Amino acid sequence: MNDQNEKLTEKLTIELHDNFSKDNFKRCLELAHEYVQVVSYAMGMTFNGKDEFENFFIGFKQAFPDLKVEHWNIIASGNKVAVEFSATGIHTGPLHTPEGVIPPSGKKVTINVAEFLEWENGKLRKLTNYQDSFSLMKQIGA
């Protein structure tokens, strides 16, 4: 049973990121628990509930509309998944940060990310996001 659960949570994680890459935000929201929580250490922020979850990922897509995720490593254990990936895109929109808005630079960036996801009954319950924001800021000239 545990192997099946691990395969399911790995599949759901890949599906979430694939739909994010393809701008299928409706499906991303369908995969989220009503009380999903996102902890973004790079932004120093926590997002609670589906509306704030949507704001979290839409914010990245507004700044990098063509942002695509490419997985490097995925490890599933029960209902938890650890995933390491890069996200590549061009900075063509405003990037909202806790320190203010960074205008578009037109530069292509690659962001290295590690995420830890917790799934509950096929829905994303918690996502903890770590990303190399120093490298991102350097790439866009901020």
Residue 102 is part of a domain; what is its CATH number? 3.10.450.50
Closest CA to 56 of 47, 69, 44, 67: 47
Domain encompassing residue 123:
2-140
pLDDT score at 32? 97
pLDDT (average), residues 70-74: 95
CA distance 105 to 101: 12
- Record the pTM: 0.90
pLDDT score at 42? 83
Q: How many domains are contained in the chain?
A: 1
pLDDT (average), residues 35-45: 91
CA distance 85 to 78: 20
pLDDT score at 71? 95
β-bridge partners, 68: 88
Residues 6+ apart with CB under 8 A from 24: none
The percent of residues in the chain predicted with pLDDT above 70, rounded, is: 99
pLDDT digits (tens, 9 = 90+) for 77-128: 999 999 999 999 999 999 988 778 899 999 999 999 999 999 999 999 999 9
Cβ-contact 14, 74 below 8 angstroms: yes
Structure tokens at 65: 């509309």
